[in-house]
Each structure stands twice: as structure tokens, then as C-alpha cells.
Structure 1
Amino acid sequence: MVVGEFVQKRQLIIVGGGPGGYNAAIRAAQLGLEVTLIEKDDLGGVCLNTGCIPSKALTHAAAQYAAMPHLKEMGIQTEATRFEWPLFIKYQKKTVAGLQKGVEALFKANKIEVIKGTATFMSENRIGVDSGHHYEMYQYENALVATGAKPVMPPGISRAEGKIIYAEELRNLNRVPGHLVVCGSDYIAIETAMAFRNLGAHVSLICSDDTFGLDESIARELQRIYKKAKIKLFKNAEVLEAEAGMDAVAITLQSDKEKVTVDADVLVFTDQYRPNTNELGLEFIKVHMDDEGYILVNEYGETSVPEVYAAGDCTIGMRLASKAIKQGKVAAEHIAGLSSAYSLALVPHVIHSTPPIATVGLTEKEAREQGFEIKTGQFAMGGNGFASLSGQKEGLAKMVIDAKTDLLLGVHMMGAGAAEMISTGTLALEMAAREEDLSYPVYAHPSLSETWLEAVEQATGRAIHLPPSRKKETATS
């Protein structure tokens, strides 16, 4: 290996080219900083290359395929409809490649230096970069760590190629499995289970928390939809053993009811991760981390070392690209001297299942636990005109409201349009909207957004498309 002779100085060095890293790099460049980004793999990180984009391509394709019976019902005949996995994988790779070229073009346009290699922090504001055949040392004024996290198997379970895998390895399968067992209680588990069921696989879902962290009304509706779709749900369960054979995986699990053994073509784990921080050398520069290796940061993205920042899945908190993007941008702005900060109090969670789920703010349970006296309103998607005509009648919209002040506390939705409409809910919560702020505007008709109006009005007994409550409202002058 050739070692560079001199320490090279850089203004801002970013380690990791995922959503947090590349957004920070571009924002910093916009603000006039000279930026160097170190990435050992491809720009875009897990999200673009093996996570968010490939998985959402899958859920989108599966949803389109599942919608074919409705198209026939409307008179659109597709006699030879079938799903071809190899062609889908080609489409998936094409989509990823196109987006990756877009990121590379943005880096070039913003004059961001990209160095391929593995970075290690040293003392005195230095980072060493090993490119395999060459080693260079860099000295930075500021640094941002955005190295993400990697999936891990539960204790006692060993990965087996094509048999016992992580969610990001689903794209490497050569066909849709006959029986897929999904183990996880996160949004990836929900998406994966329904996507492969839509594509014709038999699906079993093993979850340690059958609410999946969702509001209780949404969780009940999700379980109803799983039952209707014939997805076998093992509640409050864990995998005890998993052995991959030539033809199948033998899985022993303990649920809240029984200990059973099931056979599957593929077993996929979705919700156990470890931050990519243990080989960065952060202990040399005394960056504070928790016991699992997640980096502690403040509202500016600063670590315990003033000139070192962090963003994304390597920091404490939810594993969401949206979190990483916000943290990365704020860190870049703070480094550039702007008054910029972020809060993770109102981060929307979106699940691209069928139907999609989106939530922001407090669940009904959380609101009660925090001492709020609440009122709730909800409206089923089946009562919405546009949902009915488009054949997307599954799901509901729910509002959680402070009964004393009428302040909106949480917005929860399962159904068509949820992923797009949740931004309105986030904005309403950020602006401390009250019930009247959501019920006053004129809503387009017919539209999916009318479910929100009906949910808000149901909280006060004014919903038009619901049976009347026992206590009728009295008009006053």
C-alpha cells in the first residue's frame, strides 16, 4: 500500500454518502463551503441502492399488480396479466441507476470532491482514508459522520444465502418465494409482508409487537386487512431457531399462544440494526456514544466534539431517511454559521403498504399517557366517494384532539393518498392547528382528502356520511 507523504487540509469532510451525507454535502456547497465526501461504496447509501428506493419499487409494483381485478371490473381487460420477477428486478435496477446518476451529476455541478475509501478518525482533527491500494491523511476544520447502520441477525440465528436473509437482500432472489416468513415489528416488515402477498406468495409475519408502533385504531385495521389477505400473523412472538436446508427453512417460534415449527422458502429479518460506528475510531477523538454505538447529537447535529457533527441512522432515534436528510442539512447550515436547528418531535412515518399508512404526532394511547383529555374522530375510507370509485376502500383516517383546547395532537391514516396527505398533518401540528382550522376550509370534491374533514367533524358529531350519534347537536343563535 502506498502512503501519502503529506497531510492534506480540507474545510468540511463528510463520511458517508447516504441521504444524510449527500444532502449535507450539497447544502454545504450551496453555502460556499469546500466539501469532501468519503464513501467506500456507491453514492446514495443504503436508502438509494438497497433500501428505500428498491423496496418502494417493490411495493409500488405489487400494489399495481393487486389493482388488476379492479381494472377488469371497470372494463379494462388484461387477459394475460402476470408478474415476471426478472423483469421487475431489471426495472428496479434501472430506477436505482438513474437516481444514482442524478446524485453524481449534482455532486459534479456543486464541485464536491468524492473520495472512495474507508475513513478512520485520528487525533488532532485528522482522518485517514484507506482506498485499498493507497492511504492518505486529511486534516479537517469540520467533519460530519453519516455512516448509517447495518442489519444484524437475532442472537443464535445465522444468515444463509438466499434462505435466511435481511430485507435488503430480497432483491437478490431469483423468484417470488412460495412461502415467505417475515420477522419484524417495523414498517419494513409491514411493507414486505403485503407486497409479497400481493405477488402471490404465502406470507407469515412474526412480530414482537402486534401494534407495530401504530395508533390502536390503525393497528386493528391492519390486522383485519392481514386476516382478509390470508397473511398468517404470529403475535408477540420471536424466532427461537432457524435452520436452512436444501429445500426449505425450518423455523421454530414462540408466540403468545404456542410454540410451533413452520417451513418456509425464505425467512427475512427486518428490524434489528447496529450503527456503523465501531470501526470509525470515534473513541480516539472522544465522541460520546450510547452503549450500542449510536452517536449522541444536539439539535444542531453537533456531537460532544464541537467540530464533529453526525446525521442519520448512526445517531440515536428512528431509522428514517427523512430524519437523516433534515439532520444533514441542519448540520451543514450550522457549520456555515447559520442559525439552524431541527426537532424530531413531529416526524411523519410513512409505510408504503397496501393500503399505505401514514402517521404523525401522538397516538390516542400516547396522548392519554401524557395526561391529555382527548376526543377522537375517525372515518372509514369506504365512505369516501373517490376511494370507492377508484377501488381503494380499505383503511381509515383518525384525528386525535385535545378536548380542552381543541388543539390537534395526532393524525393517523391508512388508505389511498396517505403518504402524500400526511405532510398536511405535519404542517398543521407544527402550526398548532385547532379543530376549526381543519374543518373551516373548503375541501375538493370528490377527493381522498375529504376523509380528513369527516374524521375531524366526527370528533364533534358533525360528520355527514356517518350515522347520527345518540346525542344530537342543537343549533344556537
Structure 2
Amino acid sequence: MVVGELAHERDLMIIGGGPAGYTAAIRAAQLGREVTLIEKEVLGGICLNRGCISSKFFSHLAEKAEELKHNNDIGIKTNGFSLDYDQSLIYKKTVIANLQRGVESLCRENKIEVIFGSASFLAADRIGVENGDDFEIYTFQNAIISTGSKIIKSHDIDGLNNILDARSLYEIRDIPKDIVINGDDYIAIEAAFSYKSLGSDVYLVISGENFPQLDVSINKELKRQLKKAKIKLYKNLSIVSVTSIGDRLLTAFKSNRGDKAGIEASHVYIQSRLKGNTENMGLERIGIKMDKMGYITTDNECRASISHIFACGDVTGGRQLASKAIKQGKTAAEACANKPTEWNDTLIPQIIHCQPPIAYVGLTEQEAASQGYRLNIGQFSAAANGYAEITGNKDGLTKVITDQETDLILGIHLYGKQAPDLIASAAVAIEMAARDEDIKFPIYPHPSGSEGLLEAAESLIHQAIHQPPKKERVKR
């Protein structure tokens, strides 16, 4: 290792070039800061290279496979379904490469200095960067840590072939013959539908009765869609072990009552446990506060326990979402530039790209009830929507939850083709303290999937046009 003799002076140094890091870098450059971005591997982080983009490519591939069924109904004849998986992987690699070049170009255009290497704090104002045999030292005015999170490996299954985690789930060279998916988060749900659409037999195993992050109505519809897709759902099971039987894997489970079960498949995905990617960074040395999982403690400006150092993205814990990382990156950059700013995680819209997709923001029915609200609930089925009838996308629903006393919208839950695009409007409505009348007042384009949101809001007061009136129970 060759150590630089002098410390290089820098203004703002950002460690980690994922969505949080490169967003912070660009926003800081817009605000006039001179930015140095340090990346250990490649720009774009896990999201671009092995996470968000890969998973959404597979969801898109699955969606196209499902559309073939509708093509025959409308007169477009196809000769069955055939997947050239090698070509699919080439396309995915091309997409990732294009997006990487886009990030690189944005850094150049914003005059961001990019340094590749492993960074560690030598003091509260000093960073060392190691790259091969070179080791350079930099002093800085501000620093932003955006190093993400990493998977906690299970030693019980290390070394077994075809055990997948959140980083390797979409890196396999062939579509599995059959796959056990053990998890109840959005990654597990997306993978179950994607691999089923692409030809795998899928066994989805969850530890409870429901998917805990989802509203009760969405849970019910999701279970119906899993059954329709012929995805085998096993509930109330926890994993015990995975053992190899030749080129197959046997996954052993036990139920809440102690009963045991086993599922054999070619591949097994186990929902990943994560921790902050903060090891060997010297953070303890300079007094940065972290929790026991290595996540950095920050305030609502993304400021760490040392006032001139900030952190954003997965390394701060909480929900591990690129949308959160991007927003925190902007917040940290603005705080570094002494601009009024604030990070708040009350309203983070989330999308699950299954077939059809799910999107939601705000409180679920069960969360709102547990917080003491008296609720009004409006719900509208996608099957009653004219545009859904045309396009063959009749599965799903729209649900609006409001407070009886104030008519404030507490949560909006969407299940259907239009969900990913509509959820942004739902987030804006809740953020602006909208009431049900604020959704009902505008004119909606017709025919369109967005009309489902209108009719769900109208359903709150029994005014939905394309919904039969509710039958009142007669007491004898």
C-alpha cells in the first residue's frame, strides 16, 4: 500500500454511489457545493445493479407473458409462449448498462469528482480511500454516508447451491423448474408472480396468516390472485432447515402448533435479514452513533451525531426503499447547504410489481382502527371499470379510508393495472390533507383506470355510479 504524503482538501465528500449517494451528490452540486463521490464498486448501487432494476425487469417480463393470454381474446393470435431467456438476460444487462452510463454522465455534467475505492474515517474531518495499493487521505467540510445495507448470512445454509437471497434472486442463469419462496415482503410477492409467469412451479411460504404490511382487503384479493395464478400458498410456517438431496433442496418447516412439513424444489429463496453497511469505516472511532444492527442514527435533516456529517438511504435503517433513499439524499444535500429541509417518513408510497400490481400509501384499515379512528371505507372493484373491461385487466380493487369525523383521507390502497401510476396522486392528496370531496370534485378522463379512484371515493357516501346499491339488512 502506498500512502499519500499530503491530505487533499475537499468540500463535500459522499461515501456510496447508490440512489441516495448520487442523488445527494447531484443536489449538492446544484446548490453550489464542490462534491467528491466515493464508490467502492460501480455507480448505481445495489438498486441499479442487482436490486430494483433487475426485479422490475423480471416483473415486466412476467407482465408481457401474461398479456399473451389476452391477445388471443382480442384477435391477436400467437403460437403459444416461448421464452428466449438468454435474450432476456442480454436485454436486462443492456438496460442496467444504459442506466449506469446515465448516472456517470450526470456526475460529469454536474462536475462531480468520482473516486473509486474503500473509504474509512481517520478523524471527524478526515477520510482515507484505499484502492488497490494506493491509499489517499482527504480532509472535508461535510460528509454524507450512503453506504447502504448488506445481507446477514445464515451459516446453516452457507455453501448450498441454489439458495437465493435478495441480491441473487434475479442473478440465476436459468428459470427454476420449481422454487420455494420463504417470505412475506414485497420482494417475495414479486418473485412468486414473476417466476410463476415464466414457467416455474412456485411455493410461497409465509410465517403468519396474512401479509402484514397490506390492508385487509388487499390481503384477501392477493390470496385470490395467488390461487388464480396457481401459486401454492402455505401459511403459518417458519423455516427450520434446508438440506441438499442430489441437485434438489429440501426445505423443512414447522407450524405454529409444532407440526412439521417439507417442500422439495430446485431453488429456495429466503427473505433476507439486513444490517447497516458500516463495518470497517471507523465510525465508532469518531463517535458516530449507531444501533446494534449498524444503522446510523439521524435526525429529520439526516444529520448524524456529529453535526457536519450526514447519512441517508438504507444505512439509516427503516424501510429499505430507493424512493426513501432518493428523498433522504436530497434532504442531506440541502441541509449541508444550510437550506431549510426536512425528512419525514410518514407517507412513503409503496408498489409491489406483481400481476396485477399493488400500490398503497397511508394507513391500512387495521392500522387506522388501532389508532382510534372511526372509519368510513369506500371500495370499488376493477371489474366494474369500463377501461378494465376493454383491456382485460379486470382483477383488483381501489380502497379509500377516511376519518368519519373530519372526512380526511387516511389511506388509499390500489390493486390493479393502474396502481403504480395512480399512487403518486394518492400520496399528494394525503400529503395535502385532502378530504373525500377533494377526490370526488375533479373530472376524471373516460374511459380510464383512474375512474376507479373516483368511484371508490363516491362509494364512501353510496354515490358510486357503477356499483349496485348496498342492501340494508332488515332486522326481524
**TM-score bracket, shorter-length normalisation:** over 0.9
- What is the correspondence of 1:386-425 to structure 2 with a 5 Å cutoff? 386-425=387-426
AA at the equivalent of 2:186: Y
Contact 1:395–1:414, Cα closer than 8 Å, also in 2? yes
Alignment match, 1:437? 438
Q: Which range is displaced more, 401-410 or 271-280? A: 271-280
Alignment match, 2:307? 306
Q: Deviations over 1:345-396 (max 9, x none)?
A: 0110111111101000000111111111111011111111111211111111
Q: How much does 1:154 deviate?
A: 4.7
AA at the equivalent of 1:72: N
Q: Deviations over 1:3-35 (max 9, x none)?
A: 111111111110000000000001111111111
Q: How much does 1:170 deviate?
A: 3.0
AA at the equivalent of 1:101: R
AA at the equivalent of 2:187: I
Alignment match, 1:113? 113
Q: How much does 1:171 deviate?
A: 3.2
Alignment match, 1:475? none
Contact 1:166–1:269, Cα closer than 8 Å, also in 2? yes
AA at the equivalent of 2:299: N
- What is the correspondence of 1:205-216 to structure 2 with a 5 Å cutoff? 205-209=204-208, 210-216=210-216
Q: Secondary structure at the match of 1:263?
A: strand
Find the aligned partners of 1:236 and 1:324 in 2 and give their Cα distance.
32
- What is the correspondence of 1:273-288 to structure 2 with a 5 Å cutoff? 273-288=274-289
Find the aligned partners of 1:110 and 1:124 in 2 and give their Cα distance.
27
Matched, 1:253 2:289: no
Find the aligned partners of 1:247 and 1:2 in 2 and give their Cα distance.
47
Alignment match, 1:448? 449
Q: How much does 1:441 deviate?
A: 1.1
Q: Secondary structure at the match of 2:345?
A: coil
Alignment match, 1:365? 366
Alignment match, 2:268? 267
- What is the correspondence of 1:374-389 to structure 2 with a 5 Å cutoff? 374-389=375-390
Q: Secondary structure at the match of 1:353?
A: coil
Q: Which range is displaced more, 440-449 or 207-216? A: 207-216
Find the aligned partners of 1:27 and 1:97 in 2 and give their Cα distance.
23
AA at the equivalent of 1:53: I
AA at the equivalent of 1:67: E
- What is the correspondence of 1:101-140 to structure 2 with a 5 Å cutoff? 101-140=101-140
Alignment match, 1:68? 68
Alignment match, 1:98? 98
Alignment match, 2:19? 19
Alignment match, 2:319? 318
Q: How much does 1:275 deviate?
A: 1.4
Runs of 4+ in 1 over 4 A off after TM superposition: none
Taking structure 2 as the reference length, the TM-score comes to 0.96
- The total of aligned residue pairs comes to 471
Find the aligned partners of 2:160 and 2:138 in 1 and give their Cα distance.
39
- Superposition RMSD on alpha carbons, in Å? 1.4
Q: Which range is displaced more, 115-124 or 299-308? A: 115-124
Matched, 1:172 2:171: yes
Unaligned runs of 5+ residues in structure 1 are 473-477
Q: How much does 1:158 deviate?
A: 2.4
Q: Deviations over 1:195-240 (max 9, x none)?
A: 0011111001122242241101001110111111111112132210
Contact 2:376–2:404, Cα closer than 8 Å, also in 1? yes
AA at the equivalent of 1:65: A
- What is the correspondence of 1:9-48 to structure 2 with a 5 Å cutoff? 9-48=9-48
Q: Deviations over 1:294-341 (max 9, x none)?
A: 111111110111011000011021000000000001110110111111
Q: Deviations over 1:160-216 (max 9, x none)?
A: 34x112133133322111111111121100100000011111001122242241101
Contact 1:121–1:281, Cα closer than 8 Å, also in 2? yes
Q: How much does 1:246 deviate?
A: 3.3
Q: Deviations over 1:444-465 (max 9, x none)?
A: 1111011111111111111122
Taking structure 1 as the reference length, the TM-score comes to 0.96
Q: How much does 1:279 deviate?
A: 2.0
Find the aligned partners of 1:218 and 1:154 in 2 and give their Cα distance.
32
Find the aligned partners of 2:152 and 2:386 in 1 and give their Cα distance.
45
Find the aligned partners of 2:195 and 2:49 in 1 and give their Cα distance.
20
Find the aligned partners of 1:293 and 1:354 in 2 and give their Cα distance.
35
Alignment match, 1:232? 232
Matched, 1:461 2:465: no
AA at the equivalent of 1:330: T
Find the aligned partners of 1:13 and 1:236 in 2 and give their Cα distance.
47
Structure 1 residues 75 and 111: CA distance shift in structure 2, 3 A: same
Unaligned runs of 5+ residues in structure 2 are none
Alignment match, 2:223? 223
Find the aligned partners of 2:88 and 2:150 in 1 and give their Cα distance.
25
Q: Which range is displaced more, 421-430 or 278-287? A: 278-287
Q: Which range is displaced more, 212-221 or 422-431? A: 212-221
Find the aligned partners of 1:79 and 1:387 in 2 and give their Cα distance.
25
AA at the equivalent of 1:285: I
Contact 2:165–2:272, Cα closer than 8 Å, also in 1? no
Find the aligned partners of 2:141 and 2:255 in 1 and give their Cα distance.
53
Find the aligned partners of 2:85 and 2:167 in 1 and give their Cα distance.
16
Q: Which range is displaced more, 174-183 or 423-432? A: 174-183
Find the aligned partners of 2:89 and 2:418 in 1 and give their Cα distance.
26
Alignment match, 1:187? 186
Alignment match, 1:8? 8
Contact 2:276–2:317, Cα closer than 8 Å, also in 1? no
Alignment match, 1:88? 88
Contact 2:249–2:267, Cα closer than 8 Å, also in 1? yes
Find the aligned partners of 2:124 and 2:194 in 1 and give their Cα distance.
49
